[in-house]
Structure 1
Amino acid sequence: MPVTIYQGNHHVLSPSDINIVIDVIRAFTVAHYAFLEGVKEILLVQTQKEAFLLKEECPEYLLTGEVKGVGIEGFDFDNSPKRITQHQLKGKSLVQKTTNGVNATLRALAARHVFVTGFTNAKTTAEYVRSICGNPNTSVINIVASHPTGDDDLACADYIKGIILDNQSITAPETIARIKNSSVAEKFFDRENPLFDEEDISYCTKEIPGNFVMRVNQERKVPTIERVVR
């Protein structure tokens, strides 16, 4: 079963069977907690302008995301998994714009199945992919660690690949340690940087058993993450 890991948000992937896009700190951790809070769907856009236009068309949409890690003026939420859990979201539709995870996903749509995940839902996602991959000798699976340089997404990619291939090349505790020690996490532990909340890293490194994966519906006018029960 060919499983290839790519790092960065710039790759335009060739057609494949399954693409998995990872953003641990923090876009798809936010997405996972949002679904746990009852969100209906998450629309993915590349620019702030697209997000605001969707909000004009559908005022009930809630905007979430960041530029360079910082929340966007005029958006309803920033990119904090801690803060997303503090709101009533049942039945709501989110529009998400982020630097790495969303951009990487929009370049990875040429597949029969596209999934997104952080670490919180990584094991569930990997086990689901393994169950649907078809012929293990011919299925082509790509895993995108969306941060261009950070070891957080790369560690999660190694973890997912190990589960898919059933070789346990890296354990969950080892993955958590790499995430916490990554350059991406450093600013969250800097007490002189109030823009980033240390508790977010705790949210990002909890492995949460669950019964659903986050699959991208590429047939929608706007690519949309949907909750799919295993």
Structure 2
Amino acid sequence: MKIKNFKFLEGAAKAEGLTVIIDVFRAYTTAAYLFANQAEKIFIVSKVETARKLKKELNNPVLIGERKGIKIEDFDFNNSPYFISQHNFMGKEIILSTSAGTKGIIAAENAAEVITGSFVNIAAAAEYIKSKNPETVSLVAMGNNGVTDADEDNLYADQLANLLKGKKTLAQAEIKARLRSPAGDRFFADETQSEMPKQDFEYCLKLNKFNFVIRAEQIDSDIYQLIRKEVD
């Protein structure tokens, strides 16, 4: 198994083989909590106009998304795992659009298969990849807005690679300590609590809370559906 590391939107476009699109803070943590809270379907799009068009085609969907951390106007929720965890989405169809993570999946046109990356299911991702035993694994750290480094995504890529190689990985407390500052600073500023609450930091770093992976399957050029798959 050859592991390749990429970054940002440009890296997603170069990814091949089984590809992990990594967005710890917060897209693919949010997606995991949505599935845990009974969402029936999750669709991801890179463009706001695609989300609004898709809304008209679905049966009363819930729109979730942000740009630069701020909830998109007329969307129902920000991309916050904590806020999402406080609601039951049973039977609901979700449309999710974010600054980095969802754009990364759309950009990964050369990938043979795409799964999402977040710490809440990193062990499940490793087991899934090992069960598939692909020739090539591409790890794409999406970063901030898909264009600059994000410590949390880089650390995830490092830890997942270690799991795949059978090497030692960090405990949850060590991960939280490394990411508290500067990566986590955005969650602890008083003025951002309505958009990026401090609880998001904790919820994003609940190591291995879920034992499922999230696969992405293409529906249209700017629409993918996320599929929850349990890992034995």
**Same fold (TM > 0.5):** yes
Determine what percentage of the aligned residue pairs are the same residue: 30
For the residue of structure 2 that corresponds to 1:168, the secondary structure is coil
Cα pair 1:216 1:224 within 8 Å, conserved? yes
Shift of 1:8: 1.5
> Is contact 1:152–1:180 with CA below 8 Å preserved after alignment?
no
1:141 maps to what in 2?
137
Q: Residues 57-68 of structure 1 correspond to what in structure 2 (within 5 A)? A: 57-68=57-68
Q: What's the secondary structure of 2:73's corresponding residue?
A: coil
Q: Which amino acid aligns with 1:53?
A: K
Whether the 8 Å CA contact 1:150–1:182 is kept in 2: the answer is: no
Instruction: Give yes or no for contact 2:122–2:160 (8 Å, CA) kept in 1.
Output: yes
| One-letter amino acid matched to 2:97 | K
Describe the SS at the equivalent of 1:174: helix
Q: Give the deviation of 1:83 after TM superposition.
A: 0.6
Q: Which consecutive residues of structure 1, in runs of 5 or more, have no partner in the other structure?
A: none
**Which one is further off, 98-107 or 5-14?**
5-14
Q: Is the 8 A contact 1:37 1:85 kept in 2?
A: yes
Deviation at 1:169, TM superposition (A): 5.3
Give, as a single letter, the amino acid of the residue that structure 2 aligns with 1:146: M
Counterpart CA distance in 1 for 2:127 and 2:176 is 18
Cα separation, 1, equivalents of 2:86 and 2:126: 28
User: How far off its partner does 1:59 sit?
Assistant: 4.0
The structural deviation recorded for 1:226 is 0.6
Matches within 5 A, 1:181-200: 181-183=181-183, 185-194=184-193, 195-200=195-200
Give the Cα separation in 2 of the matches to 1:171 and 1:109: 34
Correspondence for 1:86 = 86
The 5 Å alignment of 1:35-184 reads 35-134=35-134, 139-147=135-143, 148-168=148-168, 170-183=170-183
Query: How far does the alpha carbon of each residue in 1:49-78 deviate from its partner, in whole angstroms, 9 at most, with x for none?
Result: 110111112242211110111101111111
Equivalent residue number for residue 226 of structure 1:
227
Whether the 8 Å CA contact 2:15–2:140 is kept in 1: the answer is no
TM-score by length of structure 1 reads 0.90
Unaligned stretches of 5+ residues in structure 2: none
Higher helix share: 2
| 2:201 alignment partner in structure 1 | 201
Q: After the TM superposition, which segments of 4 or more aligned residues of structure 1 sit over 6 Å from their partners? A: none
User: Does the 8 Å CA contact 1:159/1:172 hold for their aligned counterparts?
Assistant: no
Separation in structure 1 between the aligned mates of residue 179 and residue 108 of structure 2, nearest angstrom: 23
Q: 1:27 aligned to 2:27?
A: yes
1:4 aligns to what? 4
Counterpart code for 1:186: D
Compute the displacement of 1:44 (Å): 1.3
Stretch moving more, 122-131 or 206-215 = 206-215
